[in-house]
Amino acid sequence: MSTLVIVESPTKARTIRNFLPSTYRVEASMGHVRDLPSSAEEIPEAVKGEKWAQLGVNVEADFEPLYVIPKDKKKIVKELKDALKDATELILATDEDREGESISWHLLQILKPKVPIKRMVFHEITREAIRDALTHCRDIDNRVVQAQETRRILDRLVGYTLSPLLWKKIAWGLSAGRVQSVAVRLLVRRERERRAFRQGSYWDLKALLEKGKISFDAKLVTVGKVKVANGSDFDENTGQIISGRRVLLLNEEQARALLSRIQNKPWTVTNLEERPVTRKPSPPFTTSTLQQEANRKLRLGARETMRIAQSLYERGFITYMRTDSVHLSEQAIAAARSCVQELYGSEYLSPEPRKYTTKSKGAQEAHEAIRPAGSTFRTPQQTGLDGIDFRLYDLIWKRTVASQMADSRQTHVTVLTQVEDAGFRSSGKRIDFPGFLRAYVEGSDDPNAALEDQEVILPALKVGDKPNCKDLEAVGHETQPPARYTEASLVKMLESEGVGRPSTYASIIGTIVDRGYAKLIANALIPTFTAFAVTTLLETHFPDLVDTGFTSRMEQTLDEIATGEAKWLPYLQKFYTGETGLATQVKEQESQIDAKVARTVVLENITAKVCIGKFGAYLESESEEGLVKASIPQDLTPADLDPEQVEFLLKQKTEGPEKLGLHPETGEPIYVLIGSYGPYVQLGEVSETNKKPKRASLPKGTDKDSVTLDMAVSLLTLPRLLGTHPETGAKVQANLGMYGPYVVHDQGKVGKDYRSIKPPDDVLTIEIDRALEMLAQPKAVRGSSKTATPLKELGAHPESGEPLNVYDGRYGPYVKHGDINASLSKDESVENFTLQRALELLATKEAAGGGKSSSKSKKSTKTAAKSETATEKTAAKKTTAKKTTTGAKKTTTKKAATATATKKKTT
C-alpha cells in the first residue's frame, strides 16, 4: 500500500517527506497545473474562432472558464499521473487558503483519481503538525473554490476588457487591474497633493537648560500667552496659516529680536505635569503587518519579504505566512509564555495569556498569526539560520514572544518654563517598567538601544525652580509636503480601505513597478507620468473601478461567495453584462475618449503639455518656429517637474545644448545636456559625419550646474584603461554603468569580472593596483553584504584546484564549480554528500550543457521560481509572457498584435 501526497513546491515536499512513513510518496505540483490561457497559442483550436476565446471566459455561457494546461506544466502533470498509478490513496496537501484549495480542485479535475481522496491541511510544517493533519483530513471546500474561481474570472474580465482600451488610447503594453488600478490611483493622488503643496516657513527658539548638572531641551510655544505657529498650523494648499487660527507667526527677524530680548534673563518653572501611560504589545504578525514591519526595519520589499517567509514556512521554521488572523493557538501561547519565563523572568510575563482577535470581516480565522513553528519556539540563534533569513525569523520570533509579555509602564513629563513673556515647553519620558519593550520595539532592531532612545530624562524639577540657560538659538523651519507612499504605508492603506487581500499585496506592488506605473526610489513609490495619464482616464470614464469603496465592496461580495451568503453567477452577470456592466461601459465610452487628450497629462503651473509617447513622456509646446517636442528625463517625477525645468528642456531643443567649453586636445566643443536617462556631457555636435558623438553620463548625484570643463573631459575618457591583469594579461578598465561606477577585468570570450567602486575610491582617479586589490576580493552575494557561506566544504576540484562547496539555494542545496550549479537530488542529504558525488553531478550537468546561461537551466529556474512563489500563483500568471513597455519600440502586424493581446494580464 502506498499513498501519494501532492504539495505545491519542491522545498515543501522535501520538508514533509521527512515526517511521513516510507510508504508515503510526496510530489510537488509546482504551483497551479491549470489556468486560463496566457497567450493566443494556448487557446484550443476548437474555440479560437469564438469572440470570447481571448478572454478565456465564455461570457455567453454562464461565464464558464476555459482552463488549459500550460506547456511548462504538461511534463509535471504526466509525472503526477504516473505517480498516481502506483498509489492506493491520494492526499492533496496544498495550502489551506483560497489559492491552495483551488490548486487541489484543479488537480482533482486533471488527475481523475480512482483511489480514495483526502484533503490534508496544516498551518505549520513540523512532525507533530503533519502527523496530526493526517488524522484530520477533510473534503475539498467547493464554496472556497467557487469564490477563488469567481475572483480569477473577475480579474480576467477587468484586465482583458480595460487593457486593450488603454493600448488604443494611451500606449501599447499598459494594463489595468481590479486592485492594481486602485493602488496606482492612491500613488497618483498623493503625488497630486505634493504638486499642490505650498511650502510655509516659520521660526521659533530652542533652549538648552540645566538643573543640577542635567541638561534638557526646551522649545518656544507662546509669546505673550499667544501660541507660536508650528507646522500643523499651515494650509498645505496655500503655504499660509489656516484661516481662523489665532497663532503668532514669527519670521527670522522677529525670532532673533525675541532671542536678544530674553537673552540672559531669568527662567522659572511655572508648571509641571506627570502622566502615567501604559502600552500594550502589538498582536503577532499578519501578512500585511509583516510586510510593513519588514519594510520599515529590514528595508525589504513586499515581494522579497514573502519570498523569504515562504522559504521559512516550507522549511518548517514558521507557520503559514498568508493570513489575516492575529489569533494564536493555545499551543503557541504556551510556547511564547515559556520563552518569556525562561529568557526574561516571570515579572515580564503578562498576568493572563493574551488572546487576540481579528476585527476584519474577511479574515481567515482558520489560520493562526505568523509565528515560529512548533510547540516550543526555537530562539533565532538555535535555528542555524543566517543572513536575511535569520533577521526575518528574528523579527517574527520577537513579535510573537512580546505579544505575551507584560505591559510597558511609562511616565510622560511636561515642564513649562517662562522667561519674560516667552513660554517654553520641555517633554520627558521615563520608563518605569519596560515590559514587552524588553524584547520588541516597533521600528528598531535593537530593543536595548531603543529603550535608551525612548527615555528622555528630565532633572528633578518643581514649580518655582530657576534652571540655567546654557544655550539659546533661533531655528527656522519649512513645512514638508505629504510623504510619498512606501511599500509599508501603501500596504497599510490598502488594508485599511479593504482593497484586495494582504496575500496579493506583494504581487500587486511588484506589477505596478514592473509595468512602469511607479519607480521605487529610496524606499518611496513614485508614480510616473504614465500612471497619471492612466489614472485620469479611468477616473473620468470608469470612476467606480478606481474607487476604494467600490473595490472594497467587491471584496466583501467575494468573501460572501466563499461563505455561501452570495451567489457567484448573478454577481458576475451584473458586473460584466448588465446595463451598467463593464462590457457595456467600455463600448459606450470608447468612442468618447479622445486619444490625444488621454495621452496628455495636465499639471498646474506648467504651460507646456506633457504627453505620453512610444518612448516615454515628453513636453510639447508651441513656439514661433512651430511645435517643439522635448523628452522628459526618466528620473524626473511629475511632482518635481517645475516651470524652470520645462524652460530648460525646451530651450535645449530650440537653441541647442549648453556649451561648457572646448576640449583641450581636439578643440571640439563640450556640451552639457539632459536626455531621457538624465544629464550627460557630449563631445562635439551631432552631424551627418558625426552621427554618434562621444557621450558620458554624469555620476549619480552630480548636478549638471556643478560640472566643470575638467570634469567633463575626464568623464569623456571613460572607459579608462587602467592596465593589464598580471595573471591573464587581459585589460582592466574603470567605467560608469547603470548601477554606478565599476572596475572590470575583461577576458573576452572567457567572461568579465566586475566590482563596484565605492567611496572614497573614484572612477576618474582609481589606479590599477587598487583595481586589482578590489578584483581579488570575493564577489558579494546580491542583496547581501557578505559572501555566501557554504553548508559544507567538500575539498578542491582535482583539475582546477578551486574549492567545491555545497550551498543553500533558493530551490534547495546545490554544488557549484565555476559557472555550473548542480542541485542535489531530493534523496541526498548535505551531511552525507561527498566530493566524488559532487564531481559526478557537475560532470552530468556540464555534459548536458548546464551552465548558468543554458536555455535548459533558465527554463528549469523559471519553473522552479513559479513553484517557490506558490501563493502568488494568480498574480505570477498575470505577468505578461513577453513584456511590452512604453519605452520599447514596437512594430507589429495586425496578426501579431492580436496574438500578443491575449498575453496582457492584470493583477
Helix/strand/coil percentages in the chain, nearest 5: 40, 25, 40
Amino acid at 433: F
The beta strand positions in 293-434, using DSSP E, are 408-419, 422-433
Find how far residue 128's CA is from the centre of its chain: 34
d(CA 248, CA 202): 10
Contact 163, 120 (CB under 8 A): no
d(CA 53, CA 453): 62
Residue given cell 502506483 in the structure block? 86
Cβ neighbours for 84, distance < 8 A, ≥ 6 positions apart: 4, 90, 111, 113, 115
Residue given cell 452577470 in the structure block? 573
Q: What is the DSSP letter of 318?
A: B
The pairing of strands 3-7 and 24-28 is parallel
The beta strand positions in 193-267, using DSSP E, are 201-211, 214-223, 226-227
Contact 569, 62 (CB under 8 A): yes
Give the closest residue to 460 by CA, choosing from 211, 268, 208, 207: 211
d(CA 490, CA 717): 44
For 259-292, the DSSP string reads HHHHTT---EEEEEEEEEEEEPPPPPB-HHHHHH
Active site residue 320: yes
Tell me the backbone φ, ψ of residue 862, rounded to 5 degrees. -60, -45
d(CA 822, CA 851): 9
Q: What is the DSSP letter of 574?
A: I
d(CA 762, CA 225): 56
d(CA 192, CA 260): 42
d(CA 88, CA 17): 18
Tell me the backbone φ, ψ of residue 278, rounded to 5 degrees. -115, 130
The H helix count followed by the E strand count for the chain is: 26, 31
User: Sign of the C-alpha dihedral, residues 30, 33, 38, 43?
Assistant: positive
Burial of 516 (0-12, 13-18, 19+ CB in 10 A): buried
Residue given cell 487576540 in the structure block? 356
Q: What are the Cα distances from residue 684, in Å, to 498, 695, 764?
A: 57, 9, 21
Contact 723, 768 (CB under 8 A): yes
Give the closest residue to 682 by CA, choosing from 692, 666, 667, 695: 695
d(CA 758, CA 763): 9
End-to-end C-alpha distance for the chain, whole angstroms: 43
Cβ neighbours for 41, distance < 8 A, ≥ 6 positions apart: 899
Q: Which residues pair with 418 in a beta bridge?
A: 268, 423
| Candidates 320, 505, 571, 811; catalytic one | 320
- C-alpha cell of 760? 572614497
832 HSE (CA, 13 A, CB side): 5
Residue given cell 518635481 in the structure block? 640
For 436-487, the DSSP string reads GGGT--TT-S-HHHHHHHH-BPPP---TT---EEEEEEEEEEE--PPPPPBH
Q: What are the Cα distances from residue 905, in Å, to 139, 163, 253, 597, 883?
A: 32, 8, 60, 25, 10
d(CA 238, CA 240): 5
| Residue numbers annotated as active site | 320
